[in-house]
A and B are shown apart, each in its own frame.
Chain A
């Protein structure tokens, strides 16, 4: 079974600084997808970024980027120039390429942004 581990229950960052959220996963599959979702106090689950395992290049979306280390099964999220609106729970998720109904989520990391 695939498991997703987020070892940091809480993180804090100063506004305009950079923060990295960690995620590791366990799988025996060679092709899969990884996601970071953001859940602000409104509860909405918002897709932040997506990475396809067969792509070597790390995905980026504006101030958000990932460090995907396939051999180490690591998928960290870097938030640059942190803003107050970035404060939220962040969930790392894994989905096998062929298993549409097998999305696995980590326990989440609560990010606080200090003004």
Chain B
């Protein structure tokens, strides 16, 4: 399996610009997570999808952030307008969630390092 795929790996943009991060989860997985990693706050969950439906977006910082999952194999995280404080590494992870005694594990993509100047 190819694992979770993210693009781009690096993104440098200027304040005020729109940024779109992309994620392809592992085939067959029904849960997708977007995380942000910073030195100050560590790993934070931004949003969680199950079967393409956003279940928990309480971690999304503000209205400038939005995420979509139009189908089971693709998700985007958009920041508009971007600000310097958005600079971080953004991870996408996927898992196979089932009720009952689930043993699902989250598998992470390589991350996107975003720098907003």
Contact = CB atoms under 8 A, between A and B. Distances in A.
Contact of B108 (A44, A50, A97): A44
Interface in B38-88: 42-43, 45, 48, 50, 55-56
Contact-residue bracket for chain B: 20 to 34
B106 interface: yes
B107 A100 contact: no
B111 A101 contact: no
Given A43-B111, A44-B108, A100-B97, A91 B102 contact: no
A47 interface: yes
B108 A103 contact: no
B107 A47 contact: yes
A103 B44 CA distance: 9
Interface of B: 31, 33, 42-43, 45, 48, 50, 55-56, 89, 91, 93, 95, 97, 101-111, 113
